[in-house]
Amino acid sequence: MTWVFRKFNMKKSERKVKSTLHRCMLMALCAGFISSCTNDPTPAALVAIEAPDLSGTIWRVEAINQSGVVDGSDITLQFETDNRISGSTGCNRYFGEVAIDAEEFMVSGTGSTRMACVPALMQQESRFLTALQDARRYELNTAFLILFDDIGKPRLKLNRPEPTAATGIEPLPQDRVDPQTASSQRYACNDEMNVETQFVGPDTLKVVLPGGEYMLMHERAASGAKYSGDGITFWNKGLEAMLQVDLIAYTCRLL
């Protein structure tokens, strides 16, 4: 009987030890859980996100308000220096200013030439300029630029076209004109008429012809400074220029 009693006491003692170990492990787990809940984690360092540098890039509109554009129309958005933009509406040339940061996109001070086009292009132009003015946010990747309004609706989807032969070719120094310092210039064209030109903005040239005044917008060109609008093209190449009015070309020289 003595042996049985001792064996029974040993089993009982083992059960007490195991029970005590279980309680200690449970208490340790609870203590660790409470500690993890009460100790605030160290906040991650905030990383400032910089706005992308879009200067010098040209984008082509492929959708307005999630609808495609008129076949054959070429609507563009070009980002220039000093937060300026310009491009084609598919009918007229336009210009303006843009403010871009890491999250926001806002266009202001827009203007355009006033050439009349077929109704479909005029209506599309109105939709495009309205969508551009309503843009407040953007998403950007290597292929697309998407502009959203203040309620998150996609207004414009643009793609980045493949570079052409003229893309990336800088004008020669003698072809560059500083609109801040340039005064009016006069040209004699085909010895038939005199033409006066004057900058009224970084990318806007006023051309005075015998029939009136016209506002022309800057276009990309392989060389020289090319401006067009209202059926008129003026291409300055140093001391000479080419003027085209209603498909009639004139060779001009600086007076």
pLDDT in tens, 7-32: 444 455 555 545 555 565 656 555 55
Q: Where in the chain is the domain with CATH 2.40.128.270?
A: 58-159
Instruction: Give the per-residue pLDDT at 213.
Output: 83
Give the C-alpha separation, 78 to 57, whole Å. Answer: 6
Q: What is the mean pLDDT of residues 106-122?
A: 87
For residue 46, name the pLDDT band (cuts at 50, 70, 90): very low
With H, G, I as helix, E, B as strand and everything else as coil, classify residue 56: coil
pLDDT mean over 103-118: 88
Residues 6+ apart with CB under 8 A from 142: 160
The domain made up of 173-254 has a fold known as Lipocalin (2.40.128)
pTM of the model: 0.49
Helices then strands (H, E): number in the chain? Answer: 2, 17
What is the mean pLDDT of the segment spanning 68-84?
Answer: 87
For residues 71 and 82, give the distance between their C-alpha atoms in angstroms, rounded to a whole number: 33
Average pLDDT (161-172) is 47
Predicted confidence band of residue 117 (pLDDT cuts 50, 70, 90):
confident
What is the CB-side half-sphere exposure of residue 71 using CA atoms within 13 A? 0
Q: What is the mean pLDDT of residues 225-229?
A: 82
3-class DSSP assignment, residue 21: helix
Amino acid 4: pLDDT: 45
Q: Which CATH number fits domain 58-159: 4.10.520.10, 3.30.1280.10, 2.40.50.100, 2.40.128.270?
A: 2.40.128.270
For the chain, where do the domains classified as CATH 2.40.128.200 start and end?
173-254
> Which residues neighbour 199 within 8 Å (Cβ) at sequence distance 6 or greater?
177, 179, 182, 205, 206
Report the C-alpha dihedral over residues 250, 95, 52, 106, rounded to 10 degrees: -170
- Choose the most confident range, by mean pLDDT, from 138-142, 150-154, 219-223: 150-154
